[in-house]
């Protein structure tokens, strides 16, 4: 339960930070300066304009002093946050829950009592009601950027990684360049793994101009030759292909005859863009596998799978 609350709160906080960082480059630079400015310990009765500011301040304070933070609990009234406790990331029962694991993870919980509590006032500002800064474990500012709450790419880093990748620069060199730009890893809010995960998604979304034109030309030509050819494309905010589904006349005819049993698989990968190939497969009267539709997707999250199945259901309605 605590993990769900923490994930939802962190997602809300990250979304707010992303919106603000996209407003202007100058504002982003100011935020970067604030993240490196030495922060004082938050005191009781300190006021903040929003719950987002409370969380970001304590997270940045932890980043500078060598510990991570997590949302211990929150309180809502009519769907609106009115109280929050942000604790040290090592809060929790130190006892291992899974004792027979083949690959046990190291115990990081120590029931640390360091925390910050804040409540919402009548004027919508937030007031710190409690602050405990005593940790029962070692803290290390040089390792704080590895904590999950601090692993976040800045807009500047995203743009740089895109440019480096398009220029053919390897990830090792790209990350080392970012380290130099930030004056060392201790000043960064992300590590190499975060960069690799981000670029993996971007490469799946990215299609070269010639490939996009060739794909559209092929589908347009296919529909001119056969009016029963069906396809559906979804684009992101930058007009890059996120999801793609298509089925030709043979797929539709096969589904009409052998659509009683359909399987769906996303374990296939294309070589160039690392986009999962997701075929819909059936079985004919000879026990042979037949193709009923094809999809290319940028990732395997729930919205993507839902979109693909909706495209599939649209095809089923017109068969």
Which residue ranges make up each domain of the chain? 1-139, 151-205, 209-318
Are the beta carbons of 279 and 294 closer than 8 angstroms?
A: yes
Express as a percent the part of the chain with pLDDT over 70: 78
Helix, strand and coil in the chain, % to nearest 5: 45, 20, 35
pLDDT digits (tens, 9 = 90+) for 90-115: 888 776 555 555 566 665 788 898 99
Quote the CA–CA distance of 90 and 113 in Å, as a whole number.
Answer: 9
Q: Are 219 and 231 in contact (CB under 8 A)?
A: yes
**Whole-angstrom distance, CA of residue 298 vs CA of residue 202:** 9
Between 244 and 108, the more confident residue is 244
In the structure encoding, which two tokens stand for residue 165, read together?
Answer: 């990748």
Distance (Å, whole) CA 75 – CA 138:
30
Contact by Cβ (8 Å): 70, 86: yes
Whether the predicted pLDDT of 208 surpasses 80: no
pLDDT band at residue 223 under the 50/70/90 scheme: confident
Rounded mean pLDDT of 215-232? 86
pTM: 0.52
277 close to 296: Cβ distance less than 8 angstroms: yes
Q: 3-class DSSP state for residue 292?
A: strand
Contact 275, 234 (CB under 8 A): no
């Amino acid at each position: 339960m605590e993990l769900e609350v923490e994930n939802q709160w962190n997602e809300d906080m990250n979304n707010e930070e992303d919106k603000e960082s996209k407003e202007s480059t100058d504002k982003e630079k100011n935020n970067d300066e604030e993240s490196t400015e030495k922060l004082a310990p938050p005191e009781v009765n300190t006021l903040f304009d929003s719950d987002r500011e409370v969380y970001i301040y304590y997270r940045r304070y932890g980043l500078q002093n060598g510990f991570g933070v997590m949302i211990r609990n929150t309180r809502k009234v009519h769907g609106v946050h009115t109280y929050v406790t942000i604790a040290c990331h090592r809060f929790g029962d130190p006892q291992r829950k899974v004792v027979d694991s083949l690959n046990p993870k190291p115990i990081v919980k120590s029931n640390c009592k360091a925390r910050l509590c804040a409540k919402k006032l009548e004027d919508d500002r937030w007031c710190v009601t409690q602050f405990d800064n005593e940790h029962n474990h070692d803290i290390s500012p040089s390792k704080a950027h590895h904590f999950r709450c601090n692993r976040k790419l800045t807009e500047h880093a995203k743009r740089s990684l895109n440019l480096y990748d398009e220029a053919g620069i390897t990830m090792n060199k790209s990350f080392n360049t970012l380290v130099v730009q930030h004056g060392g890893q201790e000043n960064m809010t992300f590590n190499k793994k975060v960069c690799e995960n981000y670029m993996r998604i971007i490469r799946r979304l990215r299609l070269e101009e010639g490939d996009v034109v060739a794909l559209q030309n092929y589908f347009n030509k296919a529909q001119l030759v056969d009016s029963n050819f069906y396809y559906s494309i979804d684009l992101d905010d930058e007009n890059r292909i996120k999801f793609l589904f298509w089925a030709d006349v043979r797929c539709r005819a096969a589904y009409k005859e052998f659509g009683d049993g359909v399987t769906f698989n996303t374990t296939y990968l294309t070589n160039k863009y690392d986009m999962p190939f997701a075929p819909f497969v059936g079985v004919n009267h000879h026990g042979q596998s037949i193709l009923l539709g094809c999809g290319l997707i940028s990732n395997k999250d729930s919205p993507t799978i839902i979109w693909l199945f909706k495209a599939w259901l649209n095809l089923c309605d017109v068969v």
